[in-house]
Amino acid sequence: MNISWEELTTIASSDLDVLAHLTAARFPDRDQEARRLAQLDALNGAMSSLSRSLAALGRHSLSECRGSHSRWDVTEDTRAFYNALCSYAALVRTVANEYRELLAQPAPSVNASPRRRNLSIL
**pLDDT tens-digit readout, 61-91:** 988 888 777 778 899 999 999 999 999 999 9
Instruction: Flag whether 35 is in a domain.
Output: yes
Q: What sign does the CA torsion over 92, 93, 97, 98 have?
A: negative
Secondary structure letter of residue 43 according to DSSP = H
Instruction: Flag whether 48 is in a domain.
Output: yes
Please give the tally of structural domains in the chain: 1
Instruction: Flag whether 43 is in a domain.
Output: yes
Instruction: Flag whether 25 is in a domain.
Output: no
**Which pLDDT score is estimated for 102?**
83
Q: Which residue range forms the structural domain that includes residue 62?
A: 30-107
**Which pLDDT score is estimated for 7?**
77
For the question of whether the overall pTM of this predicted structure is more than 0.85, the answer is no
Question: What are the angstrom distances between the C-alpha of 31 and each of 5, 46, 50, 54, 87?
Answer: 35, 23, 29, 34, 25
Instruction: Flag whether 83 is in a domain.
Output: yes
Contacts for 88 with CB less than 8 Å, ≥ 6 apart: 11, 43, 46, 47, 49, 50
Cα angle 56, 81, 2 (rounded to 5 degrees) comes to 170
Instruction: Flag whether 117 is in a domain.
Output: no
Instruction: Flag whether 120 is in a domain.
Output: no
Instruction: Flag whether 67 is in a domain.
Output: yes
Contacts for 2 with CB less than 8 Å, ≥ 6 apart: none
**Which pLDDT score is estimated for 6?**
76
Chain centroid, CA 24 distance in Å: 15
